[in-house]
């Protein structure tokens, strides 16, 4: 640090001469500090990940202490100490735990660098879609959205979703570090030197945000306040989705829907892959194979099934195709360095790519969606938006290796503000999701948009949910799915899932069953497979598989009130729906190392069976008592071996908790006939339970309009009496269930209490007398 160049810019911002540029430290809140190194010659910082600074900044009270050697900036959440001599800084949480140890920011020939020490016990989690263990220490992560090779494995680096937000857990204290760069970047997390963390971005500047935590929920909420929240998602999206590349005609699709209902497999959505298009042209229907899409979509909707269609950003070069002609005339496609539209190869053959960096292109693209929305399509699935190319139809001699993106010198943006692909690459999928969502909202203002994207980066949660692209039908990929999805949740993207059954290759009956049992409890639940693979719909292998898979999906529908509540929490606080075991016990090293179990919410622990031919599995129980669905109790911390069969799904409810469950319906809009069940676990050591349950009318502004219901359930065991109360805490929506039923799970047994009618105003109360 050379010298302080001026007095503070305001009571919460300081700047210094540093490394041939400016180092600026801004306290955005007590717990969030922005640190930016901007070389003098650098262009202004551009971001697609961070929400407007004015929405983010809050009044903070920073206490300044300084002498010739150091300057100390303190808030109730953290202390940042700058050492003028060495030019390094340290950050401590309020209780003294160091979260940034001797940070040195430098301007290197290969990029702007953030280097610091890593505490011996520190774990680093998150970082977007990653294979391998949840703890990233010992790896170098590349931040570059990438169409990963089929059969990616534990060691694969860059994947489809790149998020440069990392959570650090050190002595049970959690904090976050977010690098706001869409340029190619890497973080060496103790790989070259186990005690060092080195992040390097190829961008012209380095902008980082520090989140002081000190818990997982607070860290994720702080990160969400920087990059935004996921908007409320439609209710139907939490049901089961069926997909396949290869439903080649309307008849195929009808048959899937009919079988779904015949087989009594709950289902809320069918996805149409490229097959519905006319020669891979976006926003068209194949007139021969899908002659009356409106009728098809209507018929499916009558059965409670929503239709989702795929859209890719590559536009077929065809002078007879209106979207291409119009986009070309308007100059809406990404340009080569020579200022002509860049032409590459993807599914439609020779193609150009829509330039989502431009607002007018996003508007235009959104309007094109009417071709699908007019037919009644409910949601959009956007793909190949890394963006990636494929040489399937390329002529001899043109070879485009799998995962090739666009050249780095292609040009985005309006003429007056050009942007290189090198700068915009990681944000391309985010802005395509933005365009898609805005188009849906403007054409259907009263409906929550559903957008599913493959490419994502920090901030994508504002516009879409994601799935882990192109999983292989293998046991290895089934196992990888757990830490991959957990990592996404810790990267601020709360709703994720994977291709159940596996995308590439043929699945087996047992593998499909295990995939479906896991997937039924993931935030997003869709079975999807590649063209030319064996069918893998739930009934494809007959009995006993069909019944076992049906039971897995039915479990999801039973848990719908929980899923809806968790999604609401996510949209309010940035909390992932699926959480690592360490979520509430970051000081438990076994939880921190656990890659094969997870929590749905705080209180439901899931230990999926992920080994072929398994007859038992080891389950780690964190501190506390846990009850299995068969009524057995387990006490942690402990590892227990539990026998399993193909039917087994291992779910455990924490003692001292409430789980809301509904009766199984065939789809989420079917009116509830049965009661809302409150499954309550209490023990002498955990005699109290409390939960907030959320429901709403599915309107995008349900919260603002008051068309929601927020119920509070409290249960307490005092002496010989257990009292349970449910009341409507806020919101004006009437309860959607006709009745309420409480089930008490105690060490001495399970007791179903009287079913009460759900009359307004909602007040239910049960008293249970413990005998002897």
Site residues for ligand GLC per CB under 6 A: 245, 273-274, 310, 383, 454, 469-470, 528
Count of CA atoms in the C-beta half-sphere (13 A) of 573: 12
Residue 405 C-beta: closest distance to ligand GLC, Å: 14
Residue 310 C-beta: closest distance to ligand GLC, Å: 6
At what angle are helices 545-558 and 560-573 packed, to 10 degrees?
Answer: 50
Instruction: Determine the Cα–Cα distance for residues 511 and 527; give it in Å rounded to an integer.
Output: 12
Q: Among residues 101 and 273, whose Cβ is nearest to ligand GLC?
A: 273
Q: Among residues 209 and 245, whose Cβ is nearest to ligand GLC?
A: 245
| Secondary structure (DSSP) of 487-523 | HHHTTT---EEEEET-SBS---HHHHHHHHHHHTTSS
Q: Among residues 265 and 311, whose Cβ is nearest to ligand GLC?
A: 311
Torsion-angle region of residue 264: left (phi > 0), alpha (psi -120 to 50) or beta? left
Residue 739 C-beta: closest distance to ligand GLC, Å: 42
Q: Among residues 135 and 470, whose Cβ is nearest to ligand GLC?
A: 470
Which position among 107, 268, 275, 386 bears the catalytic label?
386
- At 581 the three-state DSSP class reads helix
Residue 453 C-beta: closest distance to ligand GLC, Å: 11
Q: Among residues 328 and 394, whose Cβ is nearest to ligand GLC?
A: 394
Residue 311 C-beta: closest distance to ligand GLC, Å: 10
Asked whether the beta carbons of 146 and 403 are under 8 A apart, the reply is: yes
Q: What is the DSSP letter of 44?
A: P
Task: Quickly count: other Cβ atoms within 10 Å of residue 85's Cβ.
Answer: 10
Instruction: Determine the Cα–Cα distance for residues 528 and 274; give it in Å rounded to an integer.
Output: 13
Residue 479 C-beta: closest distance to ligand GLC, Å: 20
Instruction: Supply 100's token pair.
Output: 């940034």
Which position among 107, 383, 603, 698 bears the catalytic label?
383
Instruction: Determine the Cα–Cα distance for residues 555 and 540; give it in Å rounded to an integer.
Output: 20
Residue 473 C-beta: closest distance to ligand GLC, Å: 13
- 670 carries an active-site annotation: no
Q: How far lies 618's CA from each of 234, 474, 613, 643, in Å?
A: 36, 21, 14, 9
With CA atoms as reference, report the closest residue to 576 among 85, 139, 190, 126. 126
At what angle are helices 322-330 and 359-368 packed, to 10 degrees?
Answer: 160
At what angle are helices 560-573 and 216-227 packed, to 10 degrees?
Answer: 60
Instruction: Determine the Cα–Cα distance for residues 563 and 524; give it in Å rounded to an integer.
Output: 10
| Secondary structure (DSSP) of 531-547 | TTSPP-STTTT-TTHHH
Q: Where are the alpha helices (DSSP H) in 374-530?
A: 421-424, 428-443, 475-489, 509-519
Which position among 470, 569, 625, 695 bears the catalytic label?
470
Residue 413 C-beta: closest distance to ligand GLC, Å: 27
Q: Among residues 274 and 334, whose Cβ is nearest to ligand GLC?
A: 274
Q: Among residues 199 and 245, whose Cβ is nearest to ligand GLC?
A: 245
Instruction: Supply 492's token pair.
Output: 């601020």
- 19 carries an active-site annotation: no
Q: How far lies 132's CA from each of 141, 311, 329, 529, 595, in Å?
A: 11, 30, 46, 23, 9
Q: Among residues 111 and 469, whose Cβ is nearest to ligand GLC?
A: 469
Residue 470 C-beta: closest distance to ligand GLC, Å: 5
Instruction: Supply 19's token pair.
Output: 């490394």
Q: Among residues 129 and 677, whose Cβ is nearest to ligand GLC?
A: 129
Partners of 197 in the β-ladder? 116, 189
At what angle are helices 428-443 and 359-368 packed, to 10 degrees?
Answer: 50
- 386 carries an active-site annotation: yes
- At 724 the three-state DSSP class reads strand
Instruction: Supply 329's token pair.
Output: 């005339």
Residue 515 C-beta: closest distance to ligand GLC, Å: 15
Q: How far lies 737's CA from each of 265, 561, 582, in Å?
A: 22, 11, 34
What is the dihedral sign for C-alpha 336, 414, 346, 385? Answer: positive
Residue 350 C-beta: closest distance to ligand GLC, Å: 18
Q: Among residues 227 and 472, whose Cβ is nearest to ligand GLC?
A: 472
CA angle 461, 497, 265 (to 5 degrees): 125
Instruction: Supply 85's token pair.
Output: 């001599």
Task: Name the helix (H) or strand (E) containing 252.
Answer: helix 250-262
Residue nearest to ligand GLC (CB): 245
Instruction: Determine the Cα–Cα distance for residues 588 and 217; give it in Å rounded to an integer.
Output: 16
Cis peptide before 602 (omega within 30 of 0): no
Q: Among residues 202 and 249, whose Cβ is nearest to ligand GLC?
A: 249
**Active-site residue set:** 383, 386, 470
């Amino acid at each position: 640090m050379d010298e302080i160049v001026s007095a503070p810019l305001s009571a919460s911002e300081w700047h210094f001469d540093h490394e041939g540029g400016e180092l600026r430290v801004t306290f955005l809140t007590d717990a969030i500090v922005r640190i930016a190194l901007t070389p003098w010659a650098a262009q202004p910082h551009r971001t697609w990940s961070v929400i407007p600074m004015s929405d983010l900044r809050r009044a903070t009270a920073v206490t300044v202490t300084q002498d010739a050697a150091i300057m100390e900036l303190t808030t109730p959440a953290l202390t940042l100490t700058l050492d003028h001599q060495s030019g390094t800084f340290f950050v401590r949480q309020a209780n003294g735990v160091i979260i940034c140890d001797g940070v040195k920011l430098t301007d290197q020939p290969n990029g702007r660098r953030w280097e610091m020490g890593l505490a011996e016990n520190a774990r680093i989690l998150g970082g977007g879609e990653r294979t391998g263990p949840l703890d990233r220490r010992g790896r170098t992560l590349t931040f570059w959205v990438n169409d990963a090779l089929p059969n990616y494995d534990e060691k694969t680096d860059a994947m489809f979703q790149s998020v440069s937000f990392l959570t650090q857990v050190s002595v049970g204290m959690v904090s976050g570090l977010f690098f706001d760069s869409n340029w190619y970047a890497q973080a060496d997390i103790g790989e070259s030197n186990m005690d060092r963390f080195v992040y390097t971005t190829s961008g012209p500047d380095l902008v980082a945000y520090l989140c002081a935590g000190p818990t997982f929920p607070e860290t994720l909420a702080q990160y969400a306040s920087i990059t935004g929240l996921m908007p409320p998602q439609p209710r139907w999206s939490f049901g089961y989705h069926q997909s396949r590349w290869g439903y080649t005609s309307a008849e195929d699709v009808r048959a899937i829907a009919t079988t779904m209902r015949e087989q009594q497999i709950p289902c809320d959505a069918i996805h149409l892959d490229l097959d519905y298009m006319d020669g891979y042209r976006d926003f068209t229907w194949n007139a021969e194979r899908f002659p009356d899409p409106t009728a098809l979509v209507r018929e499916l909707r009558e059965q409670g099934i929503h239709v989702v269609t795929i859209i890719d950003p590559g536009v077929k070069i065809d002078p007879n195709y209106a979207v291409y002609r119009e986009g070309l005339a308007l100059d809406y496609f990404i340009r080569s360095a020579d200022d002509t539209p860049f032409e590459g190869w993807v599914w439609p053959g020779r193609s150009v790519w829509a330039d989502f960096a431009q607002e007018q292109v996003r508007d235009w693209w959104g309007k094109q969606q009417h071709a699908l929305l007019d037919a009644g399509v409910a949601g959009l699935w956007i793909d190949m938006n890394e963006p990636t190319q494929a040489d399937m139809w390329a002529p001899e001699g043109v070879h485009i290796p799998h995962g090739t993106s666009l050249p780095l010198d292609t040009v985005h943006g309006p003429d007056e503000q050009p942007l290189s692909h090198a700068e915009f690459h990681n944000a391309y999928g985010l802005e395509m999701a933005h365009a898609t969502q805005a188009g849906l909202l403007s054409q259907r203002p009263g409906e929550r948009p559903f957008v599913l994207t493959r490419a994502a980066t920090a901030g994508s949660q504002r516009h879409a949910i994601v799935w882990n692209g192109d999983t292989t039908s293998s046991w290895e990929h089934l196992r990888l799915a757990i830490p991959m999805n957990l990592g996404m949740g810790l990267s601020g993207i709360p709703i994720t899932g994977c291709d159940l059954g596996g995308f590439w290759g043929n699945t087996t009956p047992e593998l499909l069953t295990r995939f479906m049992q896991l997937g039924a409890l993931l935030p997003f639940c869709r079975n999807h497979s590649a063209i030319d693979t064996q069918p893998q719909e739930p009934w494809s292998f007959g009995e006993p598989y069909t019944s076992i898979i049906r039971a897995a999906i039915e479990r999801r529908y039973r848990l719908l009130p929980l899923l809806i509540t968790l999604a609401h929490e996510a949209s309010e606080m940035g909390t992932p729906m699926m959480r690592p075991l360490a979520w509430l016990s970051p000081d438990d090293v076994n939880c921190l190392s656990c890659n094969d179990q997870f929590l749905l919410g705080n209180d439901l622990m899931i230990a999926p069976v992920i080994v072929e031919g398994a007859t038992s599995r080891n389950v780690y129980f964190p501190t506390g008592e846990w009850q299995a669905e068969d009524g057995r109790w387990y006490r942690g911390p402990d590892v227990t071996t539990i026998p399993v069969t193909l039917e087994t799904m291992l779910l455990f409810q924490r003692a001292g908790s409430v789980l809301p469950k509904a009766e199984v319906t065939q789809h989420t809009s079917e009116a509830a006939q049965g009661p809302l069940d409150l499954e309550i676990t209490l023990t002498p050591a955990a005699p109290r339970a409390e939960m907030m349950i959320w429901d709403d009318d599915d309107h995008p502004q349900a919260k603002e309009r008051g068309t929601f219901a927020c119920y509070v359930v409290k249960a307490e065991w005092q002496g010989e009496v257990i009292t349970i109360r449910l009341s409507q805490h806020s919101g004006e929506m009437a309860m959607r269930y006709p009745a309420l039923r409480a089930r008490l799970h105690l060490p001495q047994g399970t007791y179903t209490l009287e079913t009460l009618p759900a009359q307004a105003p909602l007040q239910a109360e049960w008293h249970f007398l413990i005998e002897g």
